[in-house]
Structure 1
């Protein structure tokens, strides 16, 4: 795994993360991570960068995907389900390339990729295997209630990962109680619905 692109993160993530039938080392010195900054626009289709911590919100998922991809994909369908299931859109989101932003994953407010969305992006390299240790994280998730939006903590019910990534979800912002993953997508999180406050990608 490439370590030259990783950054130190807070000691709050020291130790081991235990979950399901596996153990994953916490990102004590290597994962690129983000604690959300203030939103810069209103809307319920939002983006957050694991590199810059910048967040933006838009009225449509079309705009959100355009921003998350650095303008590489500007014509995703405005219908949320159509955007996530369109194979051409998926291929282009995964396209990446030198200097491009990599979309790590898109989280959805409802099961079956419905309603509002939260896209997370990172460096153009995306993810590589193995999944342990993780390469990127966001914790806690953005809270836009002060601007009339969504608190994404405990409000995720489905997701799709991109750019070669798998996703691991935790029900606490200290990332110590794994509840779902590693997985590339989930149309319904089942018992893990409405519990996520931290996400790893690798």
Structure 2
């Protein structure tokens, strides 16, 4: 369980009712509440001592803008939160401002890591896509070389074939930048498609 430090006087507010609710909620958390390490998941809960307390306690949380969920666990009512914004609001209301700051910092770090992972996964997928396409293209070029020789190709297709053979890891854009003169991605794709059509024609002749 994740440790949250609560002050002896949860919140200094001029509104007596609001301050009392904050103190009461903080006391309830100290007696029957807990929070999972936010590095793992977002989950804060109160395990109430009897079912009769579930409805009034939920109403108290609702009064401070927190819409909690309820589940029975071993016959005991558990009021819980899983949305990070609501957990932050409740921690602040209970006077655990430092806990709120720590929670937000962890949330930001997790979001940054998740974004980095998504970018990394996307990059890996793109690399795999390039390699699979290059493998097919090289098979076509090898077939053309075997059946008729690359010298029989037009200068632009011969240049494209040799460049792809020497650089299987490069994207179409990168291949185009190596050509003399350089051409765009669509131009490279057009030349490789012409090589593919020629290779398919040779396959049908076998």
**TM-score tier (shorter):** under 0.3
Larger of the two Rg values belongs to structure? 2
TM-score w.r.t. the length of structure 2 is 0.22
Higher helix share: 2
Higher strand share: 1
Larger relative contact order (Cα-Cα within 8 Å, sequence gap ≥ 6):
1
